[in-house]
Amino acid sequence: MTAGTVDLAALRSRLAAAPDAGLLRPIGLARIVSGLGSLPGAVDDLFNGTAGPVALLVDATPMRRGNTDLKPAVRDLLAGTGREVREVRAGPDDGQVHADEVTVMAVRDAVDGACGIVTVASGTVADIGKAVACLLGGLPHLIVQTAASVNGYADSQSVLLRNGVKRTVASRWPDVLVLDAEVLAGAPAAMTRAGLGDLVSMFTAPADWYLARAAGHDDSYSPTAVALGRELGDELLALAPALRRNDPAAVGRLAQMLAVSGISMGAADRTAPSSGMEHTVSHLLEMAAAGEGRPTALHGAKVGVSTIIAALTWRHVRARIARDGLRPRFPTAPQMRDRVYAAFERLDPTGAMARECWADYSRKLTRWTPDAVAGLTGRWIEHEHALGRLLTEPARIVEALRAAGAPVRFADLDPAVTADQARWAITHCHLMRDRFTVADLAWFLDAWGPDDIESVLADAAALGAGL
């Protein structure tokens, strides 16, 4: 199977005919094309009749296609269409791009006046490109995916830093996604393994999304959006040994799965099909690194390790409920505000990060009321069965990541995350945003104290994972 063969027409038909179609958005991604040779024709179709140069959005990281320097090769292909090419570089010379307000605005200003954007860079830069395309009134946007590393190339949201806090914001679908088998297979093996790490979140995030609906926090839960990715789960895990060998067919198939996962998020109009507790842990680690000026490991690699923790947290919470019942507590706003500020002031003494997190978290706290929780407590047996179908055994996740050569411990990440850094992120992950996850449920059941977290980490260590 070649990279790029994703049947968008079939996906559109499936979403339109779904019982929950009313919850879903149309797929705004017009085309997924295979091979860099298709780029000139896609550009002609996309930018037909529009004036101005093409903005080639890149970062400073060198990328190759076989023996060829990828970015100049794309520039030459664009120039061959007869259009002026305006190169726009995001981020610093070391290639460590942060999608913060300053970077997004600088790229917007540099792109302004172009007829469209062609992005050839990391997933972070693709997020910037999608955001800028939206800010400039829906500017046409084509992305050349440079690695099978994340699912965010193919969706309609961007993860941006606001006041130092990771926030998912509505941006714009890319119009065209180019998947080139040689580019993808030639990317660093660590990036491909990170793509696996990003996708194993399908074994925890949908359960968090279901839980959010059951607890009265989010009525957008879509079984169809979940199924788009989750039904690929067994195949994904089986693909792991071939990914370790960097088998081109396996890498191409992973890229397809990542695209389908991204499309599921775009159709849901939120990242919830693939982003729950595991992503909040990763986000906190990234926020801490950015705030302290440290490099950080690949996003998907951190998500993979954090997914193991999330899966074990689910096991811990379900066991606690089976033993003690579901007896929630209802902390006050002042109590939780103090906790949020104590968690984040260490990263930002100005308080801007804590204020940003509290603004989001406080909305979640407001919804946590006895009336709202009644549907969760009164129907827990039904919910437990549904959650069991969405979750998988944590050992399966560990085995797949290990089979692919991907990290399963925070210490194995590159650069490594210390035990203290990991404990901080795991402990406070539920405090950063509005989205309800299993970590919130654990906290509200008084099952997320230091002893609980150490129990989860001990379970991870027993699997050879965790810290």
The confidence band for 372, taking pLDDT boundaries of 50, 70 and 90, is: confident
**Closest Cα partner for 301 from 272, 315, 276, 281?**
281
Same domain, residue pair 434 and 296: yes
Same domain, residue pair 281 and 381: yes
Segment 186-208 shows an average pLDDT of 97
Instruction: Find out whether 278 and 307 touch, Cβ atoms under 8 Å.
Output: yes
The confidence band for 230, taking pLDDT boundaries of 50, 70 and 90, is: very high
Give the integer Cα–Cα distance in Å for 55 and 89.
Answer: 10
More confident residue, 180 or 4: 180
Confidence check: pLDDT of 3 > 70:
no
Domain ends where: 148, 166, 187?
187
Per-residue pLDDT at 2: 45
Please name the residues in contact with 311: beta carbons below 8 A apart, sequence gap of 6 or more: 203, 204, 391, 392, 393, 394, 397
Count of structural domains, the chain: 2
In the numeric block, the tokens 């179609």 are attached to: 21
The confidence band for 202, taking pLDDT boundaries of 50, 70 and 90, is: very high
CATH number for the domain spanning 444: value is 1.20.1090
Same domain, residue pair 412 and 298: yes
Confidence check: pLDDT of 1 > 80:
no
Share of the chain above pLDDT 90, in %: 92
Give the integer Cα–Cα distance in Å for 185 and 3.
Answer: 10
The confidence band for 189, taking pLDDT boundaries of 50, 70 and 90, is: very high
Asked if residue 242 is part of any domain, the answer here is no
Give the integer Cα–Cα distance in Å for 13 and 257.
Answer: 18
Confidence check: pLDDT of 5 > 90:
no
Per-residue pLDDT at 10: 95
CATH number for the domain spanning 101: value is 3.40.50.1970
Same domain, residue pair 289 and 141: no
Alpha carbon 357 to its chain's center: 19
Asked if residue 83 is part of any domain, the answer here is yes
Instruction: Find out whether 40 and 144 touch, Cβ atoms under 8 Å.
Output: no
Distance in Å from the first CA to the final CA of the chain: 37
Confidence check: pLDDT of 364 > 50:
yes
Tell me the backbone φ, ψ of residue 87, rounded to 5 degrees.
-80, 130
* Residue-wise DSSP of 26-90: PP---EEEESGGGHHHHHHHHSTT--SPEEEEE-SS--EETTEEHHHHHHHHHHTTT--EEEEE-
Confidence check: pLDDT of 293 > 90:
no
Confidence check: pLDDT of 431 > 80:
yes
CA angle 191, 248, 5 (to 5 degrees): 95
In the numeric block, the tokens 């096991």 are attached to: 315
Segment 387-393 shows an average pLDDT of 97
Segment 188-204 shows an average pLDDT of 97
Same domain, residue pair 34 and 177: yes
Asked if residue 39 is part of any domain, the answer here is yes
Distances (CA, A) of 209 to 145, 225, 310: 28, 11, 13
Domain ends where: 151, 171, 187?
187
Instruction: Find out whether 5 and 36 touch, Cβ atoms under 8 Å.
Output: no
Asked if residue 167 is part of any domain, the answer here is yes
Per-residue pLDDT at 415: 97
For residue 161, give the 3-state DSSP assignment. strand
Distances (CA, A) of 173 to 30, 57, 176: 9, 16, 9
Chain mean pLDDT for the chain: 95
Asked if residue 221 is part of any domain, the answer here is no
Residue 146 lies in domain = 8-187
Confidence check: pLDDT of 145 > 50:
yes
The confidence band for 346, taking pLDDT boundaries of 50, 70 and 90, is: confident
Q: Residue 69's beta-bridge partner residues?
A: 64
Same domain, residue pair 345 and 451: yes
Count CA atoms within 13 Å of residue 467 on its CB side: 17
CB-count burial class (<10 Å; 0-12, 13-18, 19+) for 81: middle
Same domain, residue pair 165 and 61: yes
Confidence check: pLDDT of 461 > 90:
yes
Domain ends where: 152, 170, 187?
187
Asked if residue 356 is part of any domain, the answer here is yes
Per-residue pLDDT at 457: 98
Segment 40-52 shows an average pLDDT of 91
Same domain, residue pair 290 and 412: yes
Per-residue pLDDT at 443: 98
Q: Which of 91-95, 187-191, 380-384, 410-414 has the lowest mean pLDDT?
A: 91-95
Please name the residues in contact with 395: beta carbons below 8 A apart, sequence gap of 6 or more: 463
Give the integer Cα–Cα distance in Å for 354 and 6.
Answer: 42
Asked if residue 237 is part of any domain, the answer here is no
Same domain, residue pair 278 and 178: no
Segment 116-143 shows an average pLDDT of 96
Helix (H) or strand (E) holding 233: helix 233-238
298-332: pLDDT as tens digits = 999 999 999 999 999 999 999 999 999 999 999 99
Asked if residue 251 is part of any domain, the answer here is no
**Closest Cα partner for 432 from 314, 289, 290, 280?**
280
The confidence band for 94, taking pLDDT boundaries of 50, 70 and 90, is: confident
Same domain, residue pair 167 and 278: no
Same domain, residue pair 183 and 317: no
Segment 157-170 shows an average pLDDT of 91
